[in-house]
Amino acid sequence: KETGVEINRPDTKTAEMKKTVSLLVGVGSDSGIWIDKKKVDIRNVRPTMERLHAENPKGGLVIQADSISKVEKVLAIMDAARQIGITQVAIASEEN
C-alpha cells in the first residue's frame, strides 16, 4: 500500500512487518497528512480513517512519518485511531 507522498522513514534496528493493515497514513516532510493517496486536512483525518476502518475493522493502522515531520501530527493521528477503536497502531521505519 502507498500513502501518496514520498516518505523518508527513520531507521531503526528492530523494524518488523505488520500483516493486518487496514489503514496506511503518511505524514510528509512538510507535515502534510496523506490517506489513500489524497492529502487530508487535519480536521478530516478522523472521519476519513473511520470510513476506511469500517471497511476492514480487524486491521490496524500503520503511520509512515517522514523523519523530519512534526511529531504533533503523528500524535493527532494516533489519538484519532484510539477514538475510533483502532488498537493496533504502528509507526513504520526502515531497518538499518
pLDDT over 60 at 13, yes or no: no
Q: Is the pTM of this model over 0.85?
A: no
Rounded average pLDDT over 2-23 = 62
Read off the pLDDT band of 53 (50, 70, 90).
very high
Options 3.30.420.270, 1.10.3720.10, 3.30.460.30, 1.20.140.10; CATH of 11-95: 3.30.420.270
pLDDT over 60 at 94, yes or no: yes
Question: From CA 54, how far away is CA 58, in angstroms rounded?
Answer: 9
Q: Which three cell numbers stand for residue 17?
A: 512487518
